[in-house]
Amino acid sequence: MLERIGFVSTRFAGTDGVSLESAKWAQVLWGLEDISFWYGGRLDRAPDISLCIPEAYFGHPENQWIKDRIWGQQNRDPQVSQRVRNMAEYLKKPLYTFVKKFDLTLFIIENAVTIPMHIPLGIAITEFLAETRFPAIAHHHDFYWERVHFSVNAAQDYLELAFPPRDPELQHAVINQAAQEQLSWRKGISSMLIPNVLDFENPPPAPDDYAKDVRTEIGLSPDDIMVLQPTRIVPRKGIEHAIKLLEFLDDPKYKLVISHEAGDEGWEYSHMISELAREANVDIRFISDRVGEIRQYDRKGRKVYTLWDIYPHADFVTYPSIYEGFGNALLEAIYFKVPVLVNRYDIFARDLQPKGFHLPLMEGFVTRSVAKEVQHILEDSGYREELTNHNYEVAKKFYSYSVLRNSLMTLITEIKGL
């Protein structure tokens, strides 16, 4: 039976994990002849298949007012409770409109009842499901108990109610084993493990005319070796370890290229990274002004590339993260057949490493032996090709669209009781 599926979240726009993974789910569902529609506060989906409610965006001023009075607090003023209730009621009505307007048969809720960035929206969704028994799948990316920021709060009743709700008819999908176990232990909720995926059945195309000049445009010479750090500049990304790696390699031809900026977590870490690079005599390039969500030209008339334009030009990728919910940048490096150094963060050690990837690994810090292994990979083209081809085949087996397709078919069959 053809499904008309409504994706629901606070935002479907840009290159955040939720927006990217939901687009992949929709693409796979289109292949199954199902149709997708979108509800959110900020959307870059086509207007004719979307319902944009600005108040549903986590950055909306009303929601920001509520967040400022809930997180880091131990007591909640009655006015806050009332405004949460008012906003939840306001956001619930468009959910009914969304279903009716597009004749929907199923919801896929993307992280909106997982991490409490927008408490009123989570409550609105929970109450809508309770009132309608509407078929739904909750796709969980990161739970509140995984973030220190949410540990002190005046919202425990809301967290218990809606993040996620204990709705017997709601199906749950998580992206790693730890989340699956914690959800069961904390909430008594069973779930299906559906990892993040890429289209490994279809390798990426070679750089086109627009992207062929990336290295020149970011100031690299033909002899330079581009070591790409494809992440934001935030402490949990462990970028200091990438600098240490280049310090050990001790060759001016190695250039550390960082694709993204610091974002909303402050600039102190970014300043520290710059200082560490100066002290270690490491050539570091910050190119966030040349990388965007879409291809375009900036005000100076320079090309702005997507991250996927950058990967094919990288000689090596560093991924020394201390914590990741999954590891999208790792999969992307493997997809583009670029060798990658990985710190054995918990989710990698439990979920990805047992699959059989052959990668240079660090255990919390970079050693000279790790640097020698990286140097071997970069200097031996035959070994590098063997390594990257092997990792591509492993990823194709465990993290391809076909894996996602089978999981979604199972979930939809279960929720429909067929």
Segment 313-341 shows an average pLDDT of 95
Enter the tokens of residue 156.
């425990």
Instruction: Read off the DSSP letter of residue 399.
Output: S
pLDDT at 415: 85
Helices (H), 150-267: 156-162, 177-187, 214-217, 239-249
Report CA 286 to chain centroid distance, whole Å. 21
Structure confidence by residue, pLDDT tens digits, 372-412: 999 999 999 999 999 999 999 999 999 999 999 999 999 99
Per-residue model confidence (pLDDT) at position 403: 94
Centroid of chain to Cα 340: 18
Please give the pLDDT value at position 98.
98
Positions of E strands within 208-329? 225-229, 254-258, 283-286, 296-297, 303-304, 316-319
Q: Is the pLDDT of residue 296 over 80?
A: yes
Could you tell me what percent of the chain has a pLDDT over 90? 90
Helical spans, DSSP H, in 346-380: 346-347, 368-379
Q: Is 275's pLDDT higher than 70? A: yes
Whether the predicted pLDDT of 264 surpasses 60: no
Question: Cis omega before residue 164 (within 30°)?
Answer: yes
- Mean pLDDT, rounded, for 358-378: 97
Domain spanning 214-398: which superfamily?
A: Glycogen Phosphorylase B; (3.40.50.2000)
User: pLDDT at position 190, please?
Assistant: 96
Give the span between the Cα atoms of 393 and 334, in whole angstroms: 9
The sign one gets for the Cα dihedral 194, 195, 199, 200 is negative
pLDDT at 15: 77
For 322, phi then psi, to 5°, come to -85, -35
pTM of the model: 0.91
Residue 1 pLDDT greater than 90, yes or no: no
Average pLDDT over all residues of the chain: 95
Return the half-sphere exposure (C-beta side, CA atoms, 13 A cut-off) of residue 90: 15
Of 292, 299, 346, 357, the residue nearest 324 (C-alpha): 346
What local confidence, expressed as pLDDT, does residue 263 receive? 61
CATH number 3.40.50.2000 is the correct assignment for the domain at 4-197+401-416: yes
pLDDT, tens digit, 9 for 90 and up, residues 38-86? 999 999 999 999 999 999 999 999 999 999 999 999 999 999 999 999 9
298: helix, strand or coil: coil
Cβ 115 vs Cβ 143: under 8 Å: yes
Identify the pLDDT of residue 416.
77
Closest C-alpha to 237, from 258, 213, 216, 264: 258
**39: β partners:** 8, 51
Phi-psi bin for 363: left (phi > 0), alpha (psi -120 to 50), beta? beta
The better pLDDT of the pair 324, 112 is held by 112
Strands 316-319, 303-304: parallel, antiparallel or unpaired by DSSP? unpaired
Confidence of residue 31 (pLDDT cuts 50, 70, 90): confident
Structure tokens at 28: 């796979």
Closest CA to 106 of 14, 15, 39: 39
Q: According to CATH, where is 3.40.50.2000 located in the chain?
A: 4-197+401-416, 214-398
